[in-house]
Structure 1
Amino acid sequence: MSANSGGTAKIGTDWRVRARQPVGYDVRVLNGLLSPSNPALAEACGTAPGRSPRCLLIVDDSVDVLHGDRLRAYFEAWSIDVEWHVVPGGEQSKNLDEVVAITEAMTGMGILRRSEKVVAVGGGAVLDVAGMAAGLYRRGVPYVRVPTTLIGQVDAGIGVKTGINHGTHKNRLGSYYAPEVALIDPEFLRTVPKRHIANGLAEIVKMALIKDAALFDLLELAVHDLDAAAFADGEPGGPAVEIMSRAIGGMLDELEPNLWEEVLERSVDYGHTFSPSLELRADPPLLHGEAVAVDMAVCVALAHNRGMLGTADADRAIGLLRAAGLPVTDPVFTTDLLVEALRDAVKHRDGEQRIPLTDGIGSATFVHDITREELGEALRFVRERAGSDTVLVRAAR
């Protein structure tokens, strides 16, 4: 839409406005992020010759305990003026009150709209809340992501989605708001508990199943050695480094053409059809990746029962999840809950099921006609495998 040649506004009753908003952000994997000799974080905060910036640091409470002294020493070394705001880690922080509290911290700081940054350091939940607050405040202030968990480094911290839970629904309120940069330092993983390493492995297994058969093979061979130290100390060219690189690269390859989800058939939704309902209802509670693993096991069974995945490969997939320390069943996961979860997913996916299923390991296709009977059969298939000693971690070569 444009003005006419006389410089006056067009007179009419109907207009159509078209605009494009370019999005570009960097995802960088680097070691020693908090070493004062490493300029990456300081540059992301806006440090430049003759300029000492300010930033608002949103930090996970566990990260504050584990790495707070190193963060303070880093910012002091670079003469960065930091306002500190600590947020509880985990799902408890993903609520509107926490988002508002962060915006109030921005107001209290008097953050400048473009030249001063919000820096979020923590797990996926804290990154979600900080990103949502940054996107809402003055309709957007720049922010930087520093994910410190494995699931944050391979999934939650590298896309553009933000979100909080609402009612009984996972990520029901949210936005698309890209960071300026995501800085991934595997050394943070050294202090991540074993359960949370397994939590992140679920999202890596997901990428292997729907996109990267070579990654699946690599995971089968290395899964028993993939602990916190393996990722934190990974040698260049070693399995942990390659696994993380393949997982991040594969995820970004899937996200980039469809950042705003204009296309609702998304292979990265694998394991995310039924898991949102399970994650918020499981007792004892499940982590995000654990719920995704249970969902993936059901989807493996659905694919097997439809003839899309052979028995040997179905056993390999379920066996890999178990070898990674992930659950494949949960008492809360009944046929009734699966049906309810699918009904909600259909609303989210604009009236169609759009369920990604493995069409052979490393490939995915979408189905739209899963029935209640199929869901019940899938649960039985998984429960049989979960109670069987015949599921192998490594397939016969």
Structure 2
Amino acid sequence: MPKTHQSPQDREVRPSIALPRALVPSRTAWSVRAEQAVEYDVVLTRDLLDPADDSLARAGVGLVRAGVDPALAAPARRCVITERNVERLYGDHLSAYFRAHGIDVRWLVLDLGEENKTIESVLRVVDTFDSHGILRRQEPVIAVGGGVLTDIVGFACSAYRRGLPHVRVPTTLIGLVDAGIGAKTGVNHGGSKNRLGSYFPARRTLVDPTFLATLPNRHLSNGLAEILKIALVLDRRLFELLEEHGSLLRTERFQGVSAPGAQAADETLRRAIGGMLAELEPNLWEDQLERAVDYGHSFSPALEMHALPGLLHGEAVAIDMALTTVISCGRGLLTTGQRDRVLAVTTALGLPLTHPVCRPDLLEHALADTVRHRDGRQRLPLPAGIGSALFVNDLTVDEVRSAAAFLHERGNDNA
């Protein structure tokens, strides 16, 4: 038969073999939605290390899951992470407590300070989890120490196998009322405060003021700064307690040596912890970036990191609050009388109003970094009267400079 010749044009228009419609590639998208219930406890107690109290031994996940014969349960084990000073002061008490409850403990003791709040410290904790062979659900990690320690351990627990339950036992005042009771963890990185971190609350935080009996005065003041924060923007009554009894609380270290001291310590702690948790609970993941509890934390991160180890966290927060108190007064949000009351209470609590690193250039840098942290706006809380706050986005560099100069001059007058 004669061959049929086709031009290139004919070949181009020849229909191809059609794919079944179901096999034709198309744009497909899936939407996954899940919710995770978050629940944790903060318990105010006393004499936690008394062997007759099993609160710490039972804290976290139960040793025996439902339906398992207790006789078949593995011996109780815990990984307990603490810091050098706590081990020196309470190591024997902790060991005796766990022995009394038949708990086998793997210890890790860290030498810590803000300068050691690094990813390297987190990895050291992670290595301990590995060497301990920790079980993911039945053996909650126990962190006993200050805010730096609980942040490091919390971050390590959030990252290791994507989540280990843990229990916090804060031993400093700042841990009792702030660092130990929230959902956030964090470590410093690249010269910035808490640049790496997670939202990972402890299953339970056991708050025991008896640990404060051995706390140095400076660290008591450090924690009182965070209590003052709550007072200035959320709780006028708490401010009045600090104004009237702040010196007594420092002297008695929240141990209730006298009847007035006991009453003031109890009410102060309950109001500070309750106020903080009430603010955190509806916004635990910080979806809303206007947060009253960010008061005192706009300039302080930069001040603290630039002054290391010269400023403690609460001291930097106090300077931040002094600055914004003066700014609020300049805007007519506080009277001069209220401003002076706030600054007087700050000083009476053993806290600074300024520091040599509190320079205009650093404050301007700090404000710019805060704007980035708060998604492009200042969202800066200012006290509006004692016990309430409002948020501003129009703070100027001149206002900040003027407030810093006022506090430097006041500091020199009081020197």
Q: Which interval holds the TM-score relative to the shorter structure?
A: over 0.9
Q: Which amino acid aligns with 2:50?
A: S
2:239 aligns with 216
CA contact (8 A) 1:188 1:232 kept: no
CA contact (8 A) 1:187 1:233 kept: no
2:58 aligns with 43
1:85 aligned counterpart, secondary structure: strand
Distance apart, 1:71 and its partner CA: 0.2
1:281 aligned counterpart, secondary structure: helix
1:256 aligns with 281
Distance apart, 1:230 and its partner CA: 3.8
Distance apart, 1:251 and its partner CA: 0.3
CA distance, structure 1, for counterparts of residue 83 and residue 202 of structure 2 = 18
Q: Who wins on radius of gyration, i.e. which is larger?
A: 2
CA contact (8 A) 2:279 2:293 kept: yes
1:339 aligns with 364
Relative to the length of structure 2, the TM-score reads 0.88
Distance apart, 1:387 and its partner CA: 4.1
CA contact (8 A) 1:93 1:126 kept: no
Structure 2 matches for 1:170-209, cutoff 5 A? 170-209=193-232
CA distance, structure 2, for counterparts of residue 182 and residue 296 of structure 1 = 27
CA contact (8 A) 2:315 2:351 kept: yes
Q: Among 344, 366, 381, which residue is 1:319 paired with?
A: 344
- Say if 2:319 is the partner of 1:304: no
- Say if 2:397 is the partner of 1:382: no
Structure 2 matches for 1:96-135, cutoff 5 A? 96-135=119-158
CA distance, structure 1, for counterparts of residue 120 and residue 307 of structure 2 = 24
CA contact (8 A) 1:357 1:367 kept: yes
1:28–1:283 Cα change, 3 Å: closer
| Structure 2 unaligned spans of 5+ | 1-25, 65-69
Q: Which amino acid aligns with 2:59?
A: A
Question: What's the CA shift string for 1:178-210, capped at 9, x where partnerless?
Answer: 111000110000010000000000000000000
1:23 aligns with 38
2:37 aligned counterpart, secondary structure: coil
Identity %, equivalent residues: 52
CA contact (8 A) 2:114 2:309 kept: no
1:225–1:144 Cα change, 3 Å: same
CA contact (8 A) 1:147 1:153 kept: yes
Question: What's the CA shift string for 1:49-82, capped at 9, x where partnerless?
Answer: 6654211101011100000000000000000111
Q: Which amino acid aligns with 2:300?
A: S
Structure 2 matches for 1:149-164, cutoff 5 A? 149-164=172-187
1:172 aligned counterpart, secondary structure: strand
The number of residue pairs the alignment matches comes to 379
Q: Which stretch of structure 1 is more off in the superposition, 221-230 or 362-371? A: 221-230
CA contact (8 A) 1:90 1:123 kept: no
Distance apart, 1:160 and its partner CA: 0.7
CA distance, structure 2, for counterparts of residue 237 and residue 194 of structure 1 = 18
1:265 aligns with 290
Distance apart, 1:93 and its partner CA: 2.8
CA distance, structure 2, for counterparts of residue 283 and residue 114 of structure 1 = 38
Distance apart, 1:381 and its partner CA: 2.4
Q: Which stretch of structure 1 is more off in the superposition, 276-285 or 332-341? A: 276-285
Structure 2 matches for 1:63-102, cutoff 5 A? 63-102=86-125
